[in-house]
Amino acid sequence: MFVRNAWYVAAQSEEITHALTQRWIIGEPLVVYRTRAGEVVALDDRCPHRRASLSKGSLVGDDVQCGYHGITFDCSGACVHVPGQERIPPAMRTRKYPVIERWNWIWVWMGDAEADESLLPAFQYNDSPGWKAVGGVLQVNANYQLLSDNLLDLTHETYVHGKTIGNSAIVETPMEYEVKGNEVHIKRIIHDAPPPPLFKRVRNFEGNIDRWQVIRFQVPAHISIDARGYPAGSDDMARALRWFSMNSITPIDERRSMYYWTITRCFDLENEELSQLIYDKILATFLEDVEVIEAQQVLIETDRRGLIDTSVRADSGSISARRIIQRLSEAEAAADAGVTA
């Protein structure tokens, strides 16, 4: 179940150069490259001639030449050359996907409707003055919504991430949540509790902290977490930990996903040792999630009895997010079928 009229991260900016790269998004293959002027282009990777993979071809200037029979397409997807004949068949074009490169990631609009820039998630702190981001991308062999669920219920940190960002204070503190249009907002404020190991190490907290987790879900699977830790009872940002965990899950297909992530902080920006520490520890943290979620995917796929999930209070956010995705996806399917509500 995918929402097509949405932005998906296709790559980190640094991954795309003046060379053809293949990417899969919601089951579709794309060829992605950067023009000589630096603009990023995303086209359907299937050559309309015989479905050869354009990404195995070559760049001729800023045009893509299919590596099989030499049919050539420009940045708009229009065919500009068919070897051996003058006439270009009208159907000989490959789909161009709208692209926005922003905040160090490359966003692709997969829908048929006009690309709506306002639907880009609020990930500006990935690349803003006063903020320092570290991050990466992981392939996860699981449905993308299992990864969304994971990020929308942080009680799992207590059980999965006890070595880094989890402790029992999280699960003991209820969260508030609110659905706003197609967004879900979740907030948990933990008062006067011990810091988890990584927080303690990063900011040398000597006593308890007040910890904030402010989560925002945007369609289809963009989840930002405003994470804060203050010395308990204080609001002194100079001694606080504050970072955003910015997460965007791109489905490769129904069973595999690319997990793009950053941690972007607003303190001690020049400290490269600290950047490396955060990168290492958060990567280890996410790899713990991957192990749990890939096992979950296996048990879901093999479930022939169709078990119904039994929910608890902490699931409120993820259930709301799934409802939004289901509603939008069904609306798109109805529109495809020519039904108007």
Which residue ranges make up the site for a copy of itself (CB under 8 A)? 27, 29, 45-46, 48-53, 56-57, 65-71, 82-85, 89, 91-92, 149, 153, 155-156, 158-160, 171-174, 291-292, 295-296, 298-300, 302-304, 307-315
- Tell how strand 96-97 and strand 99-102 pair up: unpaired
Distance CA 260, CA 223 (A): 10
Nearer to a copy of itself, 238 or 312 (CB): 312
Work out how close the CB of 26 gets to a copy of itself at its nearest, in angstroms, rounded to a whole number.
10
Work out how close the CB of 307 gets to a copy of itself at its nearest, in angstroms, rounded to a whole number.
6
Work out how close the CB of 212 gets to a copy of itself at its nearest, in angstroms, rounded to a whole number.
17
Distance CA 202, CA 204 (A): 6
Work out how close the CB of 169 gets to a copy of itself at its nearest, in angstroms, rounded to a whole number.
11
User: Which among 239, 272, 13, 241 has a CA at the least distance from the CA of 126?
Assistant: 13
Nearer to a copy of itself, 189 or 298 (CB): 298
Work out how close the CB of 60 gets to a copy of itself at its nearest, in angstroms, rounded to a whole number.
11
CB burial of 139-159 (b: ≥16 within 10 Å; e: otherwise) equals: ebebbbbbbbbbbbbbbbbbe
Nearer to a copy of itself, 45 or 63 (CB): 45
Nearer to a copy of itself, 132 or 211 (CB): 211
Nearer to a copy of itself, 118 or 302 (CB): 302
Helix (H, G, I), strand (E, B) or coil at 321: helix
Work out how close the CB of 50 gets to a copy of itself at its nearest, in angstroms, rounded to a whole number.
6
User: Which among 149, 152, 208, 196 has a CA at the least distance from the CA of 170?
Assistant: 196
CA distances from 289 to 148, 196, 200, 257, 286 (A): 11, 17, 21, 13, 5
Distance CA 43, CA 66 (A): 12
Work out how close the CB of 199 gets to a copy of itself at its nearest, in angstroms, rounded to a whole number.
20
Nearer to a copy of itself, 237 or 333 (CB): 333
Q: What are phi and psi of 5, to 5 degrees?
A: -85, 75
Nearer to a copy of itself, 131 or 177 (CB): 177
User: Which among 203, 227, 206, 204 has a CA at the least distance from the CA of 215?
Assistant: 227
Distance CA 125, CA 243 (A): 9
What is 277-288 written as a DSSP string? HHHHHHHHHHHH
Distance CA 20, CA 34 (A): 8
Nearer to a copy of itself, 38 or 306 (CB): 306
Work out how close the CB of 265 gets to a copy of itself at its nearest, in angstroms, rounded to a whole number.
27
